[in-house]
Amino acid sequence: MSHVRNVEQFRSSLRRFLHTKGLKSTRQREVVAESFLAATDHVSADELYRDISTQHPGIGYATVYRTLKLLKEAGLAAERHFGEGFARFEPLEPGQHHDHLICTGCGAIVEFENPDIESLQDRVAERHGFAIDYHRLELYGRCAKCRPKQTHS
């Protein structure tokens, strides 16, 4: 889903963000951003760090965390918590949003979008006087492969 992405565009978005904020565009930040995009979606900071380490042993844990935080601020990454005790991150296509189906058997994560659900959410929020900025919807269950076979007996 988010794999079809314009790397160049992502890179320049980041540069623009850094420039606007008076921050510097460094080799490390480019490397982290690049690896982040190249990685499977929903990497943890640790996974990303390890990925990077193989090619760039110099880059430290702290830099990975610091860069991920910047990417979030730039609106280029989203932080997710799937109840594993640590965070996972995914690249964000500007203006795009999706929710997740998580298989409690094999850990597979499937992304989906559903406008009908979203408009119902808006209606609920409105009813309570809220103005929604963002939301989180996760469905936990068993994927087709992990589903226990039907008991026919």
Residue 116 partner contact from a second copy, DNA, none using kind-dependent CB cut-offs of 5 to 8 Å: a second copy
Asked if residue 61 binds a second copy (CB under 8 A), the reply is no
Asked if residue 18 binds a second copy (CB under 8 A), the reply is no
Tokens at 69, concatenated: 């935080």
Residue 141 partner contact from a second copy, DNA, none using kind-dependent CB cut-offs of 5 to 8 Å: a second copy
Work out whether the CA dihedral 40, 42, 46, 48 comes out positive or negative.
positive
Tokens at 106, concatenated: 């094999």
Asked if residue 38 binds a second copy (CB under 8 A), the reply is no
Residue 73 partner contact from a second copy, DNA, none using kind-dependent CB cut-offs of 5 to 8 Å: none
Work out whether the CA dihedral 125, 126, 128, 131 comes out positive or negative.
positive
What is each CA distance from 125 to 8, 80, 117, 135, 151, in whole angstroms? 37, 22, 12, 11, 41
68-127 residues near a second copy, rule: CB under 8 A = 81, 83, 101, 103-104, 110, 112, 114, 116-117, 120-121, 124-125
Instruction: State phi, psi for 109 to the nearest 5 degrees.
Output: -120, 120
Residues near DNA (CB under 7 A) are: 18, 22-29, 44-46, 58-63, 65-67, 69, 85-87
> What gap in Å lies between CA 28 and CA 35, rounded to an integer?
11
> What gap in Å lies between CA 42 and CA 47, rounded to an integer?
10
Residue 26 partner contact from DNA, a second copy, none using kind-dependent CB cut-offs of 5 to 8 Å: DNA
Residues engaged in binding a second copy (CB under 8 A): 81, 83, 101, 103-104, 110, 112, 114, 116-117, 120-121, 124-125, 128-144, 147
